């Protein structure tokens, strides 16, 4: 039996991203507005619904679902509270 699942589906699950965000990324919906509100430069693009949530709410969901051993992208929620409005060079 051939598995026709999109490759980004497995990556999204591995990284703990919400299913709605994975679906939006695969369909191209998340590329339409590319919000810089959350986790700039890490590769995660929230769907329009999750883009309305706080960074802290999203981080909790991602951490709870994450299967990848490396923390997303920083292990401390307070990091995003401290730096979310400052320029990011990494």
Residue 90 lies in a domain: no
Residue 89 lies in a domain: no
Domain containing residue 64: 9-83
Residue 2 lies in a domain: no
pLDDT at 65 over 60: yes
Which pLDDT score, from 0 to 100, does residue 83 have? 53
Return the H-helix or E-strand segment holding 18: none
Pair of tokens at residue 88: 């990011």
**What total number of domains does the chain contain?**
1
Which pLDDT score, from 0 to 100, does residue 68 have? 82
The residue-averaged pLDDT of 38-67 equals 87
The residue-averaged pLDDT of 13-32 equals 88
Residue 39 lies in a domain: yes
Residue 20 lies in a domain: yes
The chain-wide mean pLDDT, for the chain, equals: 77
Q: How far apart are CA 9 and CA 25, in angstroms?
A: 9
Residue 55 lies in a domain: yes
Please provide residue 58's backbone torsions phi and psi, each rounded to the nearest 5 degrees: -65, -40
Which pLDDT score, from 0 to 100, does residue 79 have? 46
Residue 3 lies in a domain: no
Under the banding of pLDDT at 50, 70 and 90, the label for residue 42 is confident
């Amino acid at each position: 039996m051939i598995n026709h699942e999109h490759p980004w589906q497995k990556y999204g699950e591995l990284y703990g991203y919400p299913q709605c965000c994975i679906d939006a990324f695969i369909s191209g919906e998340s590329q339409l507005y590319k919000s810089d509100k959350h986790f700039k430069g890490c590769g995660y693009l929230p769907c329009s619904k999750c883009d309305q949530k706080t960074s802290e709410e999203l981080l909790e969901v991602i951490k709870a679902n994450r299967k990848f051993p490396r923390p997303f992208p920083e292990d401390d929620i307070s990091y995003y509270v401290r730096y979310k409005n400052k320029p990011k060079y990494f």
